[in-house]
Structure 1
Amino acid sequence: MEDGRKDIILDVEDVPRFGQWITLSIQHLFAMFGSTVLVPFLVGLSPAVALVSSGLGTLSYLFITRGRIPAFLGSSFAFIAPIIAAKSLGGPEAAMIGCFAAGFIYGIVALVIHKVGLRWLMVILPPVVVGPVIIVIGLSLAGTAVDMAMYDPQHNYSVTYIIIALITLAATIVCNIFFKGFLNLIPILMGIIVGYVCSALAGIIDYRPIESAKWWEMPEFMIPGITYTPTFSWEVIAIMVPVAIVTLSEHIGHQMVLSKVVGRNFLEKPGLHRSILGDGAGIMIGSLIGGPPLTSYGENIGVLTMTKAFSVYIIGGAALTAMIFGFNGKISAVIGSIPTAVMGGISILLFGIIASSGLRMLIDNQVNFDKKRNLMIASVILVIGIGGAFVQLSENVSLSGMALSAIVGIVLNLVLPDREKVTGDIFVK
């Protein structure tokens, strides 16, 4: 893994100069900003809390990994549909309990990997299972993206909203395809800015909350035992936990890519168990204050690739800056004023990219669909997940959508004959 050792500006343990520190930290913040605030916007949580959660989660991650992995944690798109489903069952409080359970699963998996190794996880979650489930995660959200792009807040069909959504989508694509350097790494943020300007020209932005917001104010934290009384729900757990198991493959993929970029084997030192534990701890910390589940961000890995500045101090600086932004009332109000048309345009692309990532996993790992077992597993996962199938286990507990498709896929992979042997790393990002 020597790719990342060439032309290093700052190595992992290096302390940057003050001006360099501030500039590079803000650059990382911009890279994650659009995606991290989009998730809470879509699921009805506080973007300000999400920023604080992202900062705290990243700092805890750096601590648990002993300051050896320069990874930034931001809001996970994989949990959008589960959070929405959990909120429909018991409100945002139930969703937070489910998020905490997801983080706890990460901790259990980290402990097992530390004791017995990684092979068992590879057997349970081969690409033929993970790929289709990721496709389901993306496509199950397609209706949400299209609705935001087509309808105004009163759910009336709006040509203005469609035009703004398409302009936002076009700006994001153009930025990602044709721009070079840092702008190429922040297409979501650039798309939101262009869409917001178009919305302002169209007169569909309500500026009153921005005018009345304070520069510094406390985010709307949701703290169990203080702002609400937590209640346990097996149905919410059944929604969240299977998705958490699947997103572990994303984590492993990011660690492999990050190892190649930096030129160190992070799966061995400080160890995959530590990075998974750090990710899970970030999720649990965020859930205790009302933030969405976290994951390492490809955008920030892209920034590391571009700058060759791998210092964990830069990542820590970005985390602290994110927390400061979370306490800025004006920034929170601006985020809240973004029209759904803008987010709809962004979501059309992002949710499609999630689905395409699942397809990419199948291609990169050369999953052979001439084999009947692979074709059967993928087909069943896709139809159950996208079709909205559910199993009512009891009056208050049911398995549905992504959770059910993931479990069915895992079972089919284990019971069908002619399962491929695990011979090495199967997770390719």
Structure 2
Amino acid sequence: MQQQQQKIILDVEEVPKPSKWLMLSIQHVFAMFGSTVLVPFLTGMSPAVALVSSGLGTLAYLIITKGQIPAYLGSSFAFIAPIISAKALGGPESVMLGCFLAGIIYGIIALIIRKAGINWLMTILPPVVIGPVIMVIGLGLAGTAVNMAMYSNNGAPAAELEYSLTHFSVALVTLIVTIICNVYMKGFLKLIPILIGIIAGYLMSLALGIVDLSGVKEASWFTVPDFHVPFVNYDPAFNWGIAIAMIPVAVVTLSEHIGHQMVLSNVVGRDFIKKPGLHRSIAGDGVGIVIGSLIGGPPLTSYGENIGVLAITRAFSVYVIGGAGVIAIMFGFVGKISALISSIPQAVMGGISILLFGIIASSGLRMLIDNRVDFSKNRNLMIASVILVTGIGGAVLNIGEFSLSGMALAAIIGVILNLILPGKEEPKDMFGNTDSVA
């Protein structure tokens, strides 16, 4: 691999010196911080709980992968829309159960891969299905991002929304600063454009007087996060259909996971797909999702931002990643940090979301381009078209109390169409090979 030609500062199993260890771990925390706290901010969850679940999930992942894969787990954007919908219709119990079941699906798939290899997975999840589904995730959230950016009272009934030039200006400045940092900054600063953008937007919001700091002043330095432990007080009235509808999201996040493993293998110069094995990394992600669901945090996934940190620093030590997990857990118990995050105006997060949700949609398009999906074939054109319209249009399938909608329904329809329509290409593994994968 090309990356192997570069000098490795810390190999995967190396233990760094304490001072270097601390600084490298803090760097990883900063890289994931903006995106990880954005998910609970958008879904009404606790940022502190998200940090704790992120740290715990990462430590569990390192254990399951035998300390051989330096990957950090953060909040997954793929679950934002399903969580918002499930929370509105079925309450937090349905959300947490749905996330829990998604994690279990990961575990089941990990077991199947261990026994049967990965060729079957590539058969049901080809780029022509996953690409449009990823586009649906981003485009389906476009309205949420724009509303956060434009309205001072976002969340109110549509007829009562109040357009605010002040809030929209803050959102645009946040967006512009983030883009400039991502395009023009060098080194570590290029890896944290989201964090820099949030800071810039927050400072502008302070200057314009739209930040309420009363919660920060009243918060204690040490506090126990607002953990939500589901299934303790079981409510038989909660909606099983809504909970089960979150499971198809795992289809998308599995594809994301495989992509990250490919990139990470190239960066580090080791084939993590073979050793310790894709089944272990998928199981690690699944356990992270389960941990989040058991304490009220969002589902987790491996983070591209942290892979970027590895690529630049060439410090691949899993001890550095583990240190970042411990620091994230500690941050979750600092009340001032949680209150400060909660005080960020929605306009700031709206500006960030315009970019992030657009990038998600664009990454789906990039997957189609990179894999050279041929849209001159009617089969591919029909699959992508149906996925995009049903997903973005908000199609709903109601059967009694069971309900499938939006991206989850689009993903299932896409998988079915891919399996039944004639002209299917010979399945390829993630490296583009058509040979059977053991």
Aligned mates of 1:317, 1:427 — CA distance in 2: 35
For the residue of structure 2 that corresponds to 1:14, the secondary structure is coil
1:424 Cα deviation from its structure 2 partner: 3.1
> For 1:32-70, what per-residue CA distance to the aligned partner results, in whole angstroms no more than 9, with x for missing partners?
000000000000000000000000000000000000000
Is 1:49–1:219's contact at 8 Å kept on the other side of the alignment?
yes
Is 2:150–2:168's contact at 8 Å kept on the other side of the alignment?
yes
1:382 Cα deviation from its structure 2 partner: 0.3
My pick for the range that moved more, 369-378 or 83-92, is: 83-92
Pair 1:415 & 2:420 matched = yes
Residue of structure 1 equivalent to 2:316: 310
Residue of structure 2 equivalent to 1:102: 102
Aligned mates of 1:4, 1:21 — CA distance in 2: 23
Aligned-partner residue type, residue 343 of structure 2: S
> For 1:69-127, what per-residue CA distance to the aligned partner results, in whole angstroms no more than 9, with x for missing partners?
00000000000000001101221222111110111110011000001010111000000
Aligned mates of 2:429, 2:329 — CA distance in 1: 39
1:350 Cα deviation from its structure 2 partner: 0.3
1:230 Cα deviation from its structure 2 partner: 5.7
Residue of structure 2 equivalent to 1:280: 286
1:235 Cα deviation from its structure 2 partner: 1.5
CA distance 1:172–1:230, shift in 2 (3 Å): farther
Match of 2:327 among 315, 321, 324: 321
Pair 1:404 & 2:409 matched = yes
Aligned mates of 2:235, 2:276 — CA distance in 1: 35
In the alignment, structure 2 segments of 5+ residues that lack a partner are 434-438
Write the mapping of 1:23-422 to structure 2, written as runs, cut at 5 A: 23-153=23-153, 155-226=161-232, 228-229=233-234, 233-394=239-400, 396-422=401-427
Is 2:133–2:410's contact at 8 Å kept on the other side of the alignment?
yes
Is 1:165–1:346's contact at 8 Å kept on the other side of the alignment?
yes
Aligned mates of 1:362, 1:288 — CA distance in 2: 36
Aligned mates of 1:35, 1:173 — CA distance in 2: 15
Aligned mates of 2:252, 2:314 — CA distance in 1: 30
For the residue of structure 1 that corresponds to 2:8, the secondary structure is coil
Aligned-partner residue type, residue 48 of structure 1: A
Is 1:31–1:300's contact at 8 Å kept on the other side of the alignment?
yes
For the residue of structure 1 that corresponds to 2:372, the secondary structure is coil
Aligned-partner residue type, residue 294 of structure 1: L
1:225 Cα deviation from its structure 2 partner: 4.6
Residue of structure 2 equivalent to 1:18: 18
Is 2:191–2:309's contact at 8 Å kept on the other side of the alignment?
yes
Aligned mates of 2:89, 2:402 — CA distance in 1: 10
1:297 Cα deviation from its structure 2 partner: 0.3
1:393 Cα deviation from its structure 2 partner: 1.4
> For 1:233-268, what per-residue CA distance to the aligned partner results, in whole angstroms no more than 9, with x for missing partners?
432233211111221010000000000000000000
Aligned mates of 2:58, 2:235 — CA distance in 1: 25
> For 1:262-316, what per-residue CA distance to the aligned partner results, in whole angstroms no more than 9, with x for missing partners?
0000000000000000000000011100000000000000000000000000000
Residue of structure 1 equivalent to 2:430: 425
For the residue of structure 1 that corresponds to 2:13, the secondary structure is coil
Aligned-partner residue type, residue 35 of structure 2: S
1:360 Cα deviation from its structure 2 partner: 0.5
Aligned mates of 2:404, 2:292 — CA distance in 1: 25
Is 2:95–2:243's contact at 8 Å kept on the other side of the alignment?
no
Aligned mates of 1:368, 1:230 — CA distance in 2: 49
Aligned mates of 1:33, 1:55 — CA distance in 2: 11
Is 1:32–1:74's contact at 8 Å kept on the other side of the alignment?
yes
Q: In angstroms, what is the RMSD of aligned CA positions?
A: 1.3
My pick for the range that moved more, 45-54 or 415-424, is: 415-424
Aligned mates of 2:8, 2:431 — CA distance in 1: 29
Identity %: 67
My pick for the range that moved more, 153-162 or 176-185, is: 153-162
Is 1:222–1:288's contact at 8 Å kept on the other side of the alignment?
yes
Could you tell me the TM-score, scaled by structure 1's length? 0.97
For the residue of structure 2 that corresponds to 1:74, the secondary structure is strand
Aligned mates of 1:271, 1:104 — CA distance in 2: 18
Aligned mates of 2:4, 2:308 — CA distance in 1: 12
Aligned-partner residue type, residue 346 of structure 1: I
